[in-house]
Amino acid sequence: MTQRTFVLLKPDAVKRGLVGQILARFESKGLQIVALEQRTIDAAQADAHYAEHVERDFYPPLRDFVTSGPLVAVVLEGDEAIEVVRALNGATDGRKAAPGTIRGDYSLSNRENLVHGSDSPESAEREIALWFPAL
Residue 92 among known ligand-binding residues: yes
User: How many residues belong to the chain?
Assistant: 135
The one catalytic residue in 84, 116, 124, 131 is 116
116 annotated active-site: yes
Q: Is 86 annotated as a binding residue?
A: yes
Is residue 126 at the binding interface for ligand CMP, with CB under 6 A as the rule?
Answer: no
Site for ligand CMP contains 58 (CB under 6 A):
yes
Please give the helix or strand (H or E) that residue 79 lies within, else none. strand 71-79
Whole-angstrom distance, CA of residue 125 vs CA of residue 75: 11
Which SS3 state, helix, strand or coil, does residue 93 take? coil
Annotated binding site for ATP: 10, 58, 86, 92, 103, 113
Site residues (vs ligand CMP, CB under 6 A): 53, 58, 62, 92, 110-111, 113, 116
